[in-house]
A and B are shown apart, each in its own frame.
Chain A
Amino acid sequence: MTSSTDQVRRRARVVTWTLVAGAAAGATAVAGVAAASTPGHTDTEHAGHSGHIEHSEHQDQHAVSRGDTHESEHGQDDSPTTPAPVQPRHHHRHHHQRARLAAPSSSQPSATSSGS
């Protein structure tokens, strides 16, 4: 059995790679989330869109994290060792800033963002 710390580390590598793979595909995985909730997409368009992302991510993640799914499904770790280090096809992480916020122009907020 691997420890939960190992599990988290392994997943962290998978997620890092997922981000890179999304960027390399030309349409980032993050953009996929935004598209999924964009109005104007028909239901068919939407489902097809997310299905495409799901499919590609599914294949990609299996390529680098064998055993991850089975571990959560069956409560045991059937991967023999920690998977090989992730080898992204393109070492090109997107660090550009997106969706900028601004300093407050008022001391009277319209709403509060809090955990629920």
Chain B
Amino acid sequence: MTTTVHEARAAAQWELWTTTVRIVVADTAALGEAMELLHLFLADVEAAASRFREDSEVSRIARSTATHHEVSPLLAEMTGAALTAAAVTGGSVDPTIGTVLARLEATAPACPASTVRKATWRDVHLDGRVLRLPTGTLLDLGATGKAFAADRAAEQIADTLGCGVLVSLGGDLRAAGPEPEQPWTVLVRDGAGEPANLVDLGEARAVATSSSLHRSIGVELAHHVIDPLTVRSVEPVWRTVSVAAETCVEANTWSTAAMVYGDSAPDLLAATGLPVRLVAADGSMRFLNGWPR
């Protein structure tokens, strides 16, 4: 873990979920408490939604023979956010892909004989805290889950401590609380050697980036963005797509969907009105809806 203090801001970062967690606070004295709150909240998220933990809620639900489950308030909210993302993207961001991902990861680098899906997001229903879904369905809230966690953590910490907060979970970042005197400046870059772009968060309070450059699973799966329809890695039309929005869930929803949309992404994302930055496979960039160049 590292901590830094710079120009009336304090920051800390550590590794979690095979990615980097970073928190920045506008009140340097608040860093310790902010870190503690973030640790506690992320532990709750993991207990609810990690498909890599056998004792998590989503894992227990996947093993259960029941079809109706009363879930925790947190998992209900995360599932609701994931289902909304699926609805607005026409199923291009689908939380039921978890079962397929688990099977692919278990057999990597070989490909399993069948990757046919038994359920889609349309088979998942949420009524209050009652979750109804086909037996054996492992929810993968990874697409919107980190973004949801960044949103909720930043909001809760800012409310509790009364200062400006920036939370980044694996590059999905969200600002909350009072606007600091010096705006939040964010570097958008998908690793060393990739095109870089500095922006200030203005009305946008969140930026999410999806990439085809990371987390290889196996031979058939060149990277981790899976098209729910074909159950294969998406065609690498875009190396990286970044979207800015008021919330990280919204930004992540569209950045993830853009990877699946491929060539159609610019037209479809232009219609959202959200600032978008796309880096094509050849490294060329496109900017939509006022993303600063």
Interface residues of A (CB under 8 A from B): 4, 7-9, 11-12, 14-16, 18-19, 22, 29-30, 32-34, 36-39, 43-44, 46-51, 53-54, 57-58, 61, 65, 68-69, 71-75, 93-116
CA distance A14 to B229 in the complex (A): 13
In this complex, what residue of A is CB-closest to B88? A29
25 examples of A-B residue contacts, CB within 8 angstroms: A8-B229, A15-B90, A32-B87, A33-B84, A33-B250, A34-B250, A37-B247, A53-B84, A57-B87, A73-B116, A73-B120, A98-B203, A99-B245, A100-B202, A102-B183, A102-B292, A104-B199, A104-B200, A108-B6, A109-B187, A110-B166, A111-B166, A113-B171, A113-B209, A114-B191
- Whether the pair A36, B155 counts as a contact (CB closer than 8 A) is no
- Whether the pair B215, A116 counts as a contact (CB closer than 8 A) is yes
Question: B28-36, B44-52, B60-68, B260-268: which lies at the A interface?
Answer: B260-268
- Whether the pair B229, A15 counts as a contact (CB closer than 8 A) is no
Count of chain A to chain B residue pairs whose CB atoms are closer than 8 Å in the complex: 284
B58 within 8 A of A: no
- Whether the pair B240, A101 counts as a contact (CB closer than 8 A) is no
CA distance A45 to B117 in the complex (A): 31
Q: How far is the CB of A89 from chain B (nearest CB, A)?
A: 16
CA distance A77 to B199 in the complex (A): 44
Instruction: Please indicate which of the listed interface residues A34, A96, A100, A116 has the most CB atoms of chain B within 10 Å of its own CB.
Output: A116
- Whether the pair B91, A97 counts as a contact (CB closer than 8 A) is no
Instruction: Please indicate which of the listed interface residues B84, B120, B146, B211 has the most CB atoms of chain A within 10 Å of its own CB.
Output: B84
- Whether the pair A43, B73 counts as a contact (CB closer than 8 A) is yes
Chain B residues with Cβ below 8 Å from A110 are: 9, 11, 24, 166, 184-186
Q: How far is the CB of B48 from chain A (nearest CB, A)?
A: 13
- Whether the pair B292, A101 counts as a contact (CB closer than 8 A) is yes
- Whether the pair A47, B127 counts as a contact (CB closer than 8 A) is yes
Q: How far is the CB of B129 from chain A (nearest CB, A)?
A: 6
Q: How far is the CB of B245 from chain A (nearest CB, A)?
A: 5
- Whether the pair B249, A33 counts as a contact (CB closer than 8 A) is yes
Q: How far is the CB of A99 from chain B (nearest CB, A)?
A: 4
B109 within 8 A of A: no
- Whether the pair B275, A99 counts as a contact (CB closer than 8 A) is yes
CA distance A43 to B128 in the complex (A): 7
Chain A residues with Cβ below 8 Å from B186 are: 109-113
- Whether the pair A71, B249 counts as a contact (CB closer than 8 A) is no
In this complex, what residue of B is CB-closest to A39? B155
Q: How far is the CB of A112 from chain B (nearest CB, A)?
A: 5
Q: How far is the CB of B57 from chain A (nearest CB, A)?
A: 14
Chain A residues with Cβ below 8 Å from B11 are: 110-111
- Whether the pair B84, A7 counts as a contact (CB closer than 8 A) is no
B104 within 8 A of A: no
